[in-house]
Amino acid sequence: MPTTTALGGSRPAAGVAALRSLLPASSIVADPEVLVGRSRDASSMPAEGADVVVLIPASTAKVSTVVRVARDHGLSVVAQGALTGLAGGANAVEGAGMLNLSRMNAVLRVERSTRSPSPSTPDPAKPSEGRHPPKR
């Protein structure tokens, strides 16, 4: 079963409109053919409904914004990676926004105290960022 936020997705159109005003066009996809292709992972479980939009944020800050705005507008969110899962956890639910995290593909630093990675996308202005382990 997909992991969604408990938002009661009754107002997806308002949520999508709000997200369109905050994210670049390249970060929001509503093409029906793309939506079908992103509606389920590699499991044999079918999607539980039709998603309304694929959201592709390019930073941790944008992920936070997407989740906050979706919550405020009652838009359910299903987090997705490469759709290789076999449990159905990334499958669409009716009226959901699919939060595609594929751009979050680098570990920029590791918090020493917790040994936790801080994922994000590399900054093109900093060629070495995201390509080397942190210095000790």
Question: In terms of pTM, does the model score above 0.85?
Answer: no
Instruction: Please answer whether residues 54 and 74 qualify as being in contact, where contact means their C-beta atoms are separated by less than 8 angstroms.
Output: no
- Tens digit of pLDDT for each residue in 3-33? 444 434 446 778 888 988 888 888 898 888 8
Domain contains 6: no
Rounded to whole angstroms, how far apart are CA atoms 107 and 118?
6
- Judge whether 3 lies within some domain: no
Q: What are the start-end ranges of the E strands in 14-95?
A: 28-29, 53-55, 77-80
Q: Comparing C-alpha atoms, which of 53, 54, 57, 64 is closest to residue 24?
A: 57
- Number of structural domains found in the chain: 2
For residue 57, the domain's CATH number is 3.30.43.10
Q: How confident is the model at residue 120 (pLDDT cuts 50, 70, 90)?
A: low
Nearest alpha-carbon partner for 110 in 86, 90, 80, 136: 136
pLDDT in tens, 44-86: 888 888 888 899 998 888 999 999 999 998 888 999 988 888 8
